[in-house]
């Protein structure tokens, strides 16, 4: 499956496309004429996995007209017996400020293979359209269409044999957490619930979800641009929003805010050193405590579970896998 196109970002700030008007160093550069260049921040890999992980993987097209595709992860244990009970499905959305990232990034490929094995779940990682070429709500629309694709193909392939379509969890980290929340909200409307039946969204798993606002929070002021604490800085956060939101929208736009979903269980994974910490905590405080569970991972920053290789981060990443497993299986 074709991954997100990555182009070398030149060192100078001018080119045939004119001056640079927006930039997150090392990730993306946008020129005056609208040309976009993305760097190879993380290697893109094919769906192969080491045998010892105990997970098989493949890529599928969801919508060829928009080039939206997904990477599927299946724990090998389900192939040992035809009598095995059907497994929950995690539909996952990657981070990257809505503007970067790919389902083929090596860091996600490794992490989601581990998540599939640990949680005993099928995982479908959606490679949605990116801003600024496709502004929000394009990513939300791709998420909804991914669920409709599941409904359409549920009797055509392994899903009908292996998947418990009554136990679907929408999950994602950073911008992907925002997408999971907003897609779940769209599907929770009465009309859309009928649209996806017999599928059922049982819960959402929001990992350091990317929400924002014009007023600065305490964690935003504390972490700000300290890259030692968090790979996401306040400056880059503001840039991602400018690139992803509809033209002339501020950070008070509804896309920047979490949506409360009354009938859906939610797990919120918070990193203590994350610039977004307070946004996630506010979401938990404003919701039904019976439906929202929060876990705070101490001493680690944004995206630690996929990008930080320190011993502490690795320990916390393993704990996160255990927390997700317990949330899904009510253990």
Residue 62 included in any domain: yes
Best CA proximity match to 294, nearest among 285, 306, 305: 285
Residue 9 included in any domain: no
Q: How far apart are the first and last CA of the chain?
A: 36
pLDDT of residue 85: 84
Residue 37 included in any domain: no
Helix axes 175-188, 138-153, angle to 10 degrees: 60
Residue linked to tokens 């993306």: 28
Domain of 95: which CATH number? 3.40.50.1820
Residue 28 included in any domain: no
Residues 6+ apart with CB under 8 A from 264: 184, 188, 201, 202, 203, 204, 291
H/E stretch holding 185: helix 175-188
At residue 82 the predicted structure's pLDDT band, cuts being 50, 70 and 90, is: very low
Average pLDDT, whole number, for the chain? Answer: 92
At residue 4 the predicted structure's pLDDT band, cuts being 50, 70 and 90, is: very low
Residue 35 included in any domain: no
Q: Indicate which residue of 104, 116, 119, 174 is catalytic.
A: 174
* For range 183-200, the mean pLDDT: 86
Within 13 Å of residue 121, how many CA atoms lie on the same side as its CB? 28
User: Is 174 tagged catalytic?
Assistant: yes
Beta bridge partners of residue 28, listed in sequence order: 24, 38
Domain that holds residue 52: 44-328
At residue 160 the predicted structure's pLDDT band, cuts being 50, 70 and 90, is: confident
Number of domains within the chain: 1
pTM, whole model, 2 decimals?
0.94
Residue 6 included in any domain: no
Residue 276 included in any domain: yes
Burial class (CB in 10 A: 0-12, 13-18, 19+), 50: exposed
Residue 38 included in any domain: no
């Amino acid at each position: 499956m074709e991954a997100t196109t990555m182009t070398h970002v030149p060192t100078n700030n001018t080119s045939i496309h004119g001056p640079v008007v927006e930039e997150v160093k090392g990730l993306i550069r946008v020129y005056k004429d609208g040309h976009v260049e993305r760097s190879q921040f993380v290697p893109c890999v094919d769906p192969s996995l080491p045998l010892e992980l105990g997970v098989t993987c493949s890529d599928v097209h969801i919508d060829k007209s928009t080039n939206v595709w997904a990477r599927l992860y299946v724990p090998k244990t389900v192939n040992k017996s035809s009598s095995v009970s059907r497994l929950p499905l995690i539909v996952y959305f990657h981070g990257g400020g809505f503007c970067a990232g790919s389902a083929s990034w090596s860091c996600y490929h490794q992490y989601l293979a581990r998540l599939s094995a640990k949680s005993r779940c099928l995982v479908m990682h959606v490679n949605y359209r990116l801003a600024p070429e496709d502004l929000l709500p394009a990513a939300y629309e791709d998420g909804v269409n991914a669920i409709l694709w599941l409904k359409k193909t549920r009797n055509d392939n392994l899903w009908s044999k292996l998947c418990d379509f009554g136990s679907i969890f929408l999950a994602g980290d950073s911008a992907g957490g925002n997408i999971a929340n907003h897609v779940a909200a769209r599907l929770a409307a009465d009309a859309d619930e009928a649209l996806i039946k017999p599928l059922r969204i049982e819960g959402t798993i929001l990992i350091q979800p990317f929400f924002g606002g014009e007023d600065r929070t305490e964690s935003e002021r504390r972490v700000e641009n300290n890259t030692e604490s968090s790979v996401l800085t306040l400056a880059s956060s503001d840039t991602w929003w400018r690139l992803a939101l509809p033209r002339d929208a501020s950070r008070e736009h509804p896309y920047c805010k979490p949506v409360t979903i009354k009938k859906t269980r939610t797990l919120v994974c918070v990193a203590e050193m994350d610039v977004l910490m307070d946004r996630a905590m506010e979401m938990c405080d404003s919701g039904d405590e019976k439906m929202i569970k929060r876990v705070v991972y101490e001493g680690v920053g944004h995206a630690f579970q996929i990008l930080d290789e320190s011993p502490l981060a690795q320990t916390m990443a393993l704990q996160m896998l255990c927390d997700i497993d317990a949330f899904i299986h009510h253990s």
